[in-house]
Amino acid sequence: MNIRKLIAPAVAVGIAFGAGPALADKASDTLRWASNSEPDNFDMYMNTLREGIIMGVHVWDALMEGDPKDGSFKPSLAESYKWIDDQTIEFKLKQGIKFHNGETFNANDVVHTMNFVANPESKVVSISRIQFIAGAEKVDDYTVRVKLKSQFPAAMQYLSSVAVIYPDEYHGNDPAAMAKNPVGTGPYKATRIEYGDRMEFELNKDYAHGPKNATIGKMSFRRLEERNTQIAELLSGGIDWIWRVPPDQAKKLEGRNGLTVTQGATMRVGFLTFDVQAKTGGPDSNPMLNKKVREAISHAIDRENIAKQLMGDAAEVLHVFCYPSQFGCIDNGAKRYEFDPAKAKQLLAEAGYPDGFSTDFFAYRDRPIAEAMIGNLNAIGIKPKLTYISSGAARKIRREQGMRLYFGTWGSSSINDVTAILGNWFQGGPDDQAKDDQVIALMEKGNTTDEEVRKEAYSAALKRIADEAFALPLFNWVYNYAYTAQLEFTPSPDEIPRFWNARWK
């Protein structure tokens, strides 16, 4: 997926690039990585942040393990599966597996986990990952049947990735324990979870049941919000691996002794959403209720230039609200919003805002992109007031109070099906800022095993979202990775760095 080696020479900018990096932490067998965000709750079902997914799949396992290369499902906690009917999947579980705390894995753990996430009283945050699950029933100690609420053909993609299994005794006794002392069956054990400081893990030497064959003895994660701080730490040997490096800085790091820099396109989609529900005010006070205002904003954003300047050549402007490789992501004549400031101003005038207006504008990541869009909006008279907050805080405000204008991104939990993005943002759930009856009905129509019906329904839903300007898709994210040359690492387009596949050279 367009992974390439950057070849620009190193020059100095912003921070000193002259000295070579210190030795990696190969000596202590610890892979130290950093990112600009951290989950506010480590529990896989209580956060939606990408870093939470990454660390979570190293600690926990799903029943099967999806292979990003060919889309197949490999044995993990289960040795096999079969569809009993359109709403029932039976799993034959492996024996002899232990959780990190010594608890024996069996059908009780699967039943507990599935029934927990299906129970509305559990208040699961990562709703889009589990909303299809009705529960589970035990057949015998090592056979279990997972029940679906209705037909959901993408079920196995979730059950082979983000629908991880918790120990019934430990989690059942204290569901909040996973936030501080996570216990799973994965290739790494969590040894320290200190929010705002660092999270540490050590190799699970008893892991032998699945394809996550890790060899590096320890991992350590730190949140470093500033890119320059991350790069300085990488160059000084304080950390070994970073990602989302801006293109200009990635080019300046290339060619340095002791570093490897690579680039890869990802499934992550950026977007703007508008308060179409009137959560933040009625027609007299909320301009976003006017379709022409939403269209004006869409024409005002210079997506092509922002993508190339702040993402990289592998970033592509999107016209429908999904990633092109996802099943059902079909652009069937959806309305286009080309960069056209003059047209944007005309639409604002027609909407009754010839002089523009002020508006709240929320974002939780990629501040340079948010600021570039604010510049575009200022140019047509709209004056956004940026509120830059954490992912968890943004989610709470969005769901409880609504957001007039929100810049977000979505990685679809690495699920290559359009339900993984539309299901969260346009199927009537708490993050749906439009709650359009027609779109919701089309999504329900697509909930069938008939692939042609699914394609037709999803195509129509995507077209209506674009035609009504319920949201503006921006472009896919491209990541630059920089890491010690002593590390063997291969990026993946599903935005999950599989550190269990990494090796010291």
- pLDDT tens track for 321-345: 999 989 999 999 999 999 999 999 9
Residue range(s) in the chain whose domain bears CATH number 3.40.190.10: 32-218+480-504
Cite the residue boundaries of each domain of the chain with CATH code 3.10.105.10: 273-334+343-465
pLDDT of residue 15: 45
Q: What is the pLDDT of residue 12?
A: 29
pLDDT at 8 over 90: no
pLDDT at position 313: 82
**Residue 369, pLDDT above cutoff 80:** yes
Average pLDDT, the chain: 93
DSSP 57-109: HHH---SEEE-TTT--EEESSEEEEEEEETTEEEEEEPSS-B-TTSPBP-HHH
What is the distance between the alpha carbons of residues 183 and 172, in angstroms, rounded to a whole number?
12
Q: What is the pLDDT of residue 4?
A: 29
* Total residues found in the chain within this entry: 505
Q: Listing from the earlier edge strand, what are the strands of the sheet with 133-140?
A: 78-85, 88-93, 143-148, 133-140
Average pLDDT (44-59) is 96
The CATH superfamily assigned to 32-218+480-504 is Periplasmic binding protein-like II (3.40.190.10)
Rounded Cα distance, 269 and 473, in Å: 7
381-404 pLDDT, tens per residue? Answer: 999 999 999 998 999 999 999 999
Give the whole-angstrom CA distance, residue 499 versus residue 489: 8
Q: What is the pLDDT of residue 21?
A: 53
Indicate the DSSP class of residue 178: G
CATH T-level topology, domain 273-334+343-465: Dipeptide-binding Protein; domain 3 (3.10.105)
Check pLDDT > 70 for residue 14.
no
The pLDDT value given to residue 235: 95
Provide the terminal-to-terminal Cα distance of the chain, rounded to the nearest Å: 24
Closest residue by Cα to residue 92 from 136, 140, 57, 134: 140
Instruction: Indicate the range of 161-175, 250-264, 348-362 predicted with least confidence.
Output: 250-264
Residue 201 bridge partners (DSSP): 190, 219
- Looking at the predicted structure, is the pLDDT value of residue 411 above 50? yes
Convert 340-366 to b/e letters by CB count within 10 Å (16 or more is b). Answer: bbebbbbbbeebebeebeebebbbbbb
- pLDDT at residue 449, as a whole number: 82
Residues 23-45 pLDDT 10s: 567 889 999 999 999 999 999 99
Burial class (CB in 10 A: 0-12, 13-18, 19+), 7: exposed
pLDDT of 24 reads: 64
Q: What percent of the chain shows pLDDT beyond 70?
A: 95
